[in-house]
Amino acid sequence: MQCSGGGCVADPRICFVTNKTPAADIAADRLRQRYGESPLSAAEIVVALGGDGLMLQTLHQVMDRGIPTYGMNFGSVGFMMNDFNENDLIERLAAAQRTRIYPLSMQVLDAEGITRSALAINEVSLFRSSYQAAKLQILVDGQVRLDELICDGAILSTPAGSTAYNLSAHGPILPIEAPLLALTPISPFRPRRWRGAILSNRAVVKFLTREAEKRPVSAVADNVEFQNVREVTVTEDRSHHVTLMFDPGTSLEERVLTEQFRF
């Protein structure tokens, strides 16, 4: 129980998940013994012990449940995670800053004429699937903006994902609250000097593959991949959201800002 001038409030129901490494599993068992555990179906907060990959998987699991997620780093980078400490967890959760993130919706038309869909918290990526470079036409809100991009692929990133693969491909870092998306080419060959674009989060972005039989392309929304795509349409989806929790002073907004001054 937590008590204040307004009375006592029961501790939150917590579901612990891990990346299945021995260290994370041992830590999770200790946390369960100290703080109890609730199944995901009844949880009020999810505590994820792992790295950014586990965090993305967990966020996809809880997206339609409205459960905030608090990560503790047992991975390599841990950009979306807090430092691990098994003490004072209830107090940390109560003090945590919350950030709401809206995903991208990816609609794909494949070579069989089948339409498929997936959501992406970080980014939607298109990749060449053979030794041949991809040829992509890019439309924004129905207007052709780039008639032909010859490349290894392209990324459309949310602000939350702009410091991930997008940054590795030399794309811009977006402030987490900015109503923007980052469109970034991967190893562009023609036009060689095109470095991408910053778009409104209300934009409808469509990729059309050219010479698709000769130059097959796959489309990926976070960790969901569809092969042999012909058209990929991406929009921000405001009907879904996830909530991340961070210790005070280490919010996602602060992390994204700090990343812009690294060299």
* Enclosing domain of residue 66: 2-101+241-259
Domain co-membership, 178 together with 61: no
- Joined together, the tokens standing for residue 106 give 């990816």
Say how far apart CA 161 and CA 165 lie, in whole Å: 7
Residues 133 and 173 in one domain: yes
On whether both 116 and 205 belong to a single domain, the answer is yes
pLDDT tens for the chain, 263 residues long, are 444 444 334 689 999 999 999 999 999 999 999 999 999 999 999 999 999 999 999 999 999 888 999 999 997 778 889 999 999 999 999 999 999 999 999 999 999 999 999 999 999 999 999 999 999 999 999 999 999 999 999 999 999 999 999 999 999 999 988 999 999 999 999 998 899 999 999 999 999 999 999 999 999 999 899 999 999 999 999 999 999 999 998 888 888 888 888 77
* 186-214 b/e (C-beta count within 10 Å ≥ 16 → b): bebeeeeeeebbebebebebbbbbbebee
If asked whether residues 148 and 168 sit together in one domain, one would say yes
CATH number of the domain bearing residue 249: 3.40.50.10330
> 44 and 27 in one domain?
yes
CATH for 227: 2.60.200.30
Kindly state whether residues 62 and 110 are assigned to the same domain.
Answer: no
The answer to the question of whether 152 is labelled as a binding residue is: yes
Residue type, 14: I
Q: Is 163 annotated as a binding residue?
A: yes
Has 160 been labeled as part of a binding site? yes
Same domain, 91 and 108: no
Asked if residue 56 lies in contact with residue 63, where contact means CB atoms within 8 angstroms, the answer is no
pTM of the shown model:
0.88
Which among 12, 82, 60, 59 is positioned nearest to 251, based on CA atoms? Answer: 82
Task: Tell me if 243 is assigned to a ligand binding site.
Answer: no
Examine the domain organization and report whether 149 and 33 are in the same domain: no
Is there a single domain that holds both residue 174 and residue 228? yes
Place of tokens 């439309």: 139
Query: Does residue 176 share a domain with residue 191?
Result: yes
Cα gap 66→243, rounded to integer Å: 8
Residues 190 and 131 in one domain: yes
Q: Which two tokens stand for residue 258?
A: 């700090």
Residue 10 has what pLDDT?
Answer: 66
When divided into structural domains, the chain yields a total of 2
| Active site amino acids | 52
Both 142 and 196 in one domain: the answer is: yes
